[in-house]
Structure 1
Amino acid sequence: MSGDFGSKNVIDQQEYDAFCHFLATACGIILGENKQYLVSSRLDSLMKANGIVSLAALVQNLKEYPGSKIYIAVVDAMTTNETSWFRDSYPYGFLYEQLLPDVVDKHKNLRIWSAAASSGQEPYSISIIVDEFLENRRLSLTSVNIVATDISQSVLSSAKEGVFPQSSLDRGMSQARIAHYFDEKDSLWRIKDEIKRRITFREFNLLGSFSALGKFDIIFCRNVLIYFSSDTKKDILARIAGALNPLGYLVLGGSESIANYSDSFNIVRLKNGLVYQLKE
């Protein structure tokens, strides 16, 4: 590829293949064929800002300086995805109506993992559901720990702040919940501390070991497995099964399935979707 990265020149196939290999090795994401336009749109400004004139030069830089600012920025750019509040709704209804009552009855300690937390809407949505359940039922839990992880440092930094523009709240957050759980300042909305304090944010790569995370009652791993190869999906699902408490639950994205990748779960069919329960 010659000229500026942002020009209309086509990315050389060899350069593209080398970048795809880097991305698969670094974070497990499989771009597939004919996604040169995506690479170009997400990396153009980053490469220009750092004086990198070709994708081949970028890949060489990433190999020579793993963990550098450019390396982190590239992973951030290629893994950041759209999210919304209470996405698909049915996982949160299941959490409120079935899982939380079960936990209260059994052991009073709740651990939930949001494995692709992005900018925080999912873990904050989970915490709000927990708060509503405890408030409406006049119940208490000994401890509630929501672990929110993502590979992207930039989105995690934003998530930790818990500050959102109105345009973000318009995607799934009701006016009643905004009034109850947010404070407004300078046209931005800050989520209240009682919702934040249940959540621990940490940078985490799903290709790494899960052992340090502990065990969970339910794991949300939504709209992320679709980016991995079949072998990586099998590996991640096997380790998710190992990270769940007995009869724990897994929630995937609406278009995702464990079929052909894991036999560790039973399907639990809900009104508008399904979740997976770890087999005995």
Structure 2
Amino acid sequence: MRALSDDIYKQFSDFLEVQCGIVLGENKQYLVKSRLIPLMTQFSIEKLSDLIQQSMSYKNRELRTAVIDAMTTNETLWFRDKYPFELLAKKIYPEILEKKKSIKLWSAASSSGQEAYSIAMTSLEYQKQKAVLGMNVQIIGTDISNTMLEQCKNGTYDTLALSRGLADDRKRLFFNSVNDGSGKMQIKPEVKKLTSFRNFNLLDSYAGLGKFDIIFCRNVLIYFSSDVKSRILNQFAGALNPGGYLILGASESLTGLTDKFDMVRCNPGIVYKLKS
């Protein structure tokens, strides 16, 4: 049975907010069903309500992890919105490189890795175009989903994923074909070596991550309550080096959430710079 009562939905919504900070809101039963019904066969559970109740207990950690994975997995694409990556090359990298050669970036909630690898490709293109010597880029991608992290680390993508925002010349430059007739391609080692990936919940302490020059957290805050957004943004401020940059999604804003950043209008786009 795939029915989902209002009571079970409310319990699950509260559970998801506590575990991940994600706010489902009202009348999103359709989203829960579409994400979790495939798990019923995998875990041999006949009722969706039973699957949800079991996932909220601590008895079946595998199911709990699979449910959180399913609910926190979001679609992504290469070079999303384009302007953040253009700003790296045109504004942010030159500014940082005037002071130091090492640049550390964080791709928060990196999903299946397209953002982190897009940053890596941008970095390699910049180094080649500007003939920059000694530039050291370190990109850390984090996500709450272990399934997504495995995809990130493997760096292999099918034809559908490769068609979303990735130009043919970049495919030739930065990918190798997987010779199994599937059309899949894998990120080249020189791109991979700029990146590392780890499991991380944005609700946890950021102390173990170190300091960053640039943080990407795009199209993620929209899923959180205002209080959680504010907490995350203030933690981002604490994780940035002086003068560091925060890059959000095109529809996201800091208004009323934190006073630790200055908004920098660019052409195109907006970024946020940590106040000195």
- What is the TM-score of this pair, normalised by structure 1? 0.94
Q: Give the superposition deviation at 1:161.
A: 0.7
For residue 76 of structure 2, what is the aligned residue in structure 1? 83
Match of 2:154 in 1: 161
Q: Structure 1: which 5+ residue stretches go unaligned?
A: none
* Cα distance change of structure 1 residues 66 and 80 upon mapping to structure 2, 3 Å threshold: farther
Residue identity (%): 48
Secondary structure of 1:64's aligned partner: coil
C-alpha distance in 1 between matches for 2:60 and 2:224: 21
1:201 aligned to 2:197? yes
Match of 1:145 among 138, 142, 165: 138
1:224 maps onto 2:220 in alignment:
yes
Residue in structure 1 matched with residue 184 of structure 2 by the alignment: 188
CA RMSD of aligned residues (A): 1.4
Q: Which amino acid aligns with 1:173?
A: L
- Which residue does 2:240 correspond to in 1? 244
Deviation of 1:34 (Å): 0.2
Question: Scaled by the length of structure 2, what TM-score is found?
Answer: 0.95
User: Do structure 1's residue 172 and structure 2's residue 165 form an aligned pair?
Assistant: yes
Counterpart contact for 2:12–2:56, Cα < 8 Å = no
Match of 2:98, SS? helix
- Inter-partner Cα distance in structure 2 for 1:261 and 1:150: 23
C-alpha deviations, 1:231-254, integer Å up to 9, x for none?
000000000000000010000111
Q: Which runs of 4+ in 1 moved over 6 A?
A: none
Q: One-letter code of the match for 2:91?
A: Q
Letter in structure 2 aligned against 1:110 = I
How does 1:1-280 map onto structure 2 within 5 Å? Answer: 4-5=1-2, 9=3, 11-65=4-58, 68-141=61-134, 143-185=136-178, 186=180, 187-280=183-276
Contact 2:54 2:60 in 1 (8 A): no
* DSSP-derived class of the 1:148 partner: strand
CA–CA distance in structure 2, aligned partners of residues 45 and 67 of structure 1 = 17
Distance 1:15 1:25 in 2: 15
Q: Quick one: which amino acid aligns to residue 70 of structure 2? A: A
Give the distance between the partners of 1:107 and 1:124, measured in 2 at CA: 23
Distance 1:127 1:241 in 2: 23
How many angstroms apart in 2 are the aligned matches of 1:40 and 1:101? 47
Residue 38 of structure 1 deviates from its aligned partner by: 0.7
